[in-house]
Structure 1
Amino acid sequence: MSDARVRAAIEKMEAWLADPIWEPEAGALDAWNRDFLEAMGQAERAPGWAALIERAHGAGRRLEDRIAVLSAEKDKVQAELERQGRGNRALKGYGANVR
């Protein structure tokens, strides 16, 4: 098996990461990872292999960075929803006490 499948998998991940609105989905990442690991197991590791591995590592770092940013944004949204929920409960309590 050639290294072409590894290269194709890396290029797919790099394309996803180049899209500023792409958000990682667990199912898509799991499928990609299975394909990537299978390709890695069948690769010839021909000349240029080290460059492919470096690209894969770079894509992995960028993916981790993207996930960290999205996780932080999710945490901010959750915190805001919790604040709104507390505010709504406080308003309901205030309304019950005013009557």
Structure 2
Amino acid sequence: MSQEVRLSTLVGIAAIASGVSGILMSLSTKRVANFEAIREYFQQGDTPEMIKARHKIYECEKKDVDLDPESATLICSFFHFWGIMVKKGFYHYGFSKALQDHP
């Protein structure tokens, strides 16, 4: 009887450990997925279209030229989305610095 109780206790402890490790793995996987999504969105800022749009915005300031509404919309919506991510807690402000330093 004593061995059955010990075996039952061991099985229970193993089940609890397995459940806890499953939860930890799930949280870790979710965190990695969030990081990948943020990194992927951040890299969209380096597409030729975004580079061209930023260039048009900078040229407006330097040469006193009319602002291109399409470029302004593209750039504003990109950075507005970042602001929403910060506000909702999905993105830490220092994260962009880390991504910029990463090759």
Normalised to the residue count of structure 1, the TM-score between the two structures is 0.49
Normalised to the residue count of structure 2, the TM-score between the two structures is 0.47
